[in-house]
């Protein structure tokens, strides 16, 4: 049975028509439990979709807390094969402000931008006191394209190990025309104790 209102099909054949509902679709949530060094989204694995189904993907990073102090959260991309090593060119700047009202500044940080295949920092130096964590989001545009580079943009905020609020802005592109089919978030030492990363597709 279908339902047609004023000439518009609302639902038919057991499903609502395209365009009914939101254009932001939840795909997958990964939760850190202290047992691993990374949270990894792979197209076709465990219900993850990172292909041409959507033109944009958003990862929402929530309350990442590391086992060790002064550790980073980084991201890397898979462009074929099994390694997370897509060539990248990125920018990285941050604003920071200490709880003691010191260190207020806006800085481009050449040491944490990337020209190469290494992981790109998204959060630099998160503390590991009981209430320390970092949150933010990462946009990945058109990862299935095989004709263009793949752009990404991220903004995060953390309580840094030296007790300050630090907002990071990262953007760049995977300088490849191979499709990006997986994204890995990792800590540089120790494990990710807790936190979630949720993946959404934008129609």
Q: Closest approach of Cβ 124 to another protein, in Å? A: 14
Spell out, one character per residue from 31 to 70, where the chain touches another protein: x when CB under 8 A holds, - when not.
Answer: -----------------------------x-xx-x-----
Nearest to another protein of 25, 37 (CB atom) = 25
Q: Is 128 a binder of another protein (CB under 8 A)? A: no
The Cα–Cα gap between 167 and 1 comes to: 52
Q: Is 139 a binder of another protein (CB under 8 A)? A: no
Q: Is 98 a binder of another protein (CB under 8 A)? A: yes
Q: Closest approach of Cβ 139 to another protein, in Å? A: 13
Nearest to another protein of 15, 146 (CB atom) = 15
The CB-side HSE value for 10 (13 A sphere, CA atoms) comes to 6
Give the 3-state DSSP-derived string for the chain, with helices as H, strands as E and coil as C. CCEEECCEEEEECCEECCCCCCCEEEEEEEEECCCCCEEEEECCCCCCCCCCCCCEEEEEEEEEEECCCCEEEEEEEECCCCCCCCCEEEEEEEEEEECCCCCCEEEECHHHCCEECCCEEEEEEECCCCCCCEEEEEEEECCCCCCCCEEEEEEEEEEECCCEEEEEEEEEEECCCCCCCEEEEEECCCCEEEEEEEEEEEC
**Per CB under 8 A, which region of 45-53, 111-119, 164-172, 178-186 contacts another protein?**
164-172
**Per CB under 8 A, which region of 34-42, 48-56, 126-134, 183-191 contacts another protein?**
126-134
Q: Is 4 a binder of another protein (CB under 8 A)? A: no
Q: Closest approach of Cβ 3 to another protein, in Å? A: 8
- In a 10 Å sphere around its CB, with 0-12 CB exposed, 13-18 middle and 19+ buried, how is residue 169 labelled? middle
Q: Is 188 a binder of another protein (CB under 8 A)? A: no
Nearest to another protein of 76, 164 (CB atom) = 164
Selected binder of another protein within 81, 82, 100, 147 (CB under 8 A): 100
Q: Point out which residues bind another protein (CB under 8 A).
A: 1-3, 11-16, 21-26, 60, 62-63, 65, 95-101, 104-106, 130-137, 155, 157-159, 164-167, 196, 198, 200
């Amino acid at each position: 049975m279908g339902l047609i209102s004023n000439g518009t099909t609302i639902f038919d054949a057991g499903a609502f028509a395209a365009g009914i509902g939101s254009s932001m679709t939840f795909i997958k949530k990964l939760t850190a439990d202290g047992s691993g060094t990374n949270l990894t989204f792979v197209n076709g694995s465990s219900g993850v979709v990172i292909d041409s189904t959507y033109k944009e993907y958003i990862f929402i990073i929530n309350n990442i807390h590391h086992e060790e102090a002064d550790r980073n959260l980084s991201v890397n991309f898979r462009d074929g094969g099994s390694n997370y090593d897509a060539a990248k060119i990125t920018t990285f700047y941050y604003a920071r402000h200490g709880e003691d009202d010191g260190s207020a500044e806006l800085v481009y940080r050449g040491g944490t931008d990337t020209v190469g295949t290494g992981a790109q920092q998204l959060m630099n130096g998160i503390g590991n006191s009981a209430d320390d964590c970092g949150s933010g989001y990462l946009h990945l545009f058109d990862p299935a394209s095989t004709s263009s580079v793949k752009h990404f943009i991220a903004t995060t905020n953390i309580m840094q190990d030296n007790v300050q609020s630090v907002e990071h802005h990262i953007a760049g592109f995977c300088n490849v025309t191979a499709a990006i089919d997986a994204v890995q978030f990792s800590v540089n030492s120790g494990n990710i104790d807790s936190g979630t990363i949720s993946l959404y597709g934008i129609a």
